[in-house]
Homo-oligomer: A and B are copies of this chain.
């Protein structure tokens, strides 16, 4: 069985893994995200130390990233607001040091792939995976392939109606103010109420607002992408009661227009958490490498 490596690159930590699938993991480690000069050598060291022959490494990275193979900055983290990481040659640095093939994609596309391969989206052709946490991001898989394009999806940055009457908060996105991420990410909840989401009681008005914004974003993505399953993950979704309030609000916002029984009658199976939980991303890196190199 071929062995793959994986790197899930996040804003607070890099998760590194070596293995074949969720039942055959040989080695794992977590490295704190500081600067590229410090973090990337530690990642390289993790893989350099292994005695296994690794076929390829899959990387799922925070973004924005450059996925265009014809571009001079292919494999880079590009204009991220994260201090120190702007214009970092992620793929080049890892690939040159380890002399190994790298497959590169966004963190959310990779987590979506993990769920398609081993989780709650197996045998589903069109899968939307959203993470609602420190940021809001989305990945979309069509028949096993992540959607790219001019850049890659940046679903958290769509504009939605801002409920100004109940919510005079301006939003926290440094680029767009009150885009979906600016209104509904974990930091937006904290800034708006002065209390982190996990400390707000279930009865707090924060959750009705959160439900409205997330459900609106999802119905917009339903309009654009027509996914067959929607997987919601991320820190904010640890409030598991949000799953049901979001489902109810989505039906209300659709208002019978999207005439499909999965949406109207079986929405509990349509909008679901990841089966792999917090492991979707790191296991997805193995799926990414495997899909590219298994023949």
Contacts and interface: CB of A to CB of B under 8 A. Distances in A.
Interface in A120-179: 125-126, 138, 140, 142, 147-162, 175-176, 178
A257 B154 contact: yes
Interface in A217-236: 219-228
A260 B225 contact: no
A64 B216 CA distance: 20
A78 B259 contact: yes
Task: Assign chain A's interface to a size class.
Answer: 35 or more
A26 interface: no
Identical chains bound together, number: 2
Contact of A226 (B142, B147, B216, B228): B147
Given A64-B259, A160-B161, A225 B149 contact: yes
A172 to B, nearest CB: 14
Nearest to A263: B150
Interface of A: 64, 78-79, 125-126, 138, 140, 142, 147-162, 175-176, 178, 216, 219-228, 253, 255-260, 262-263
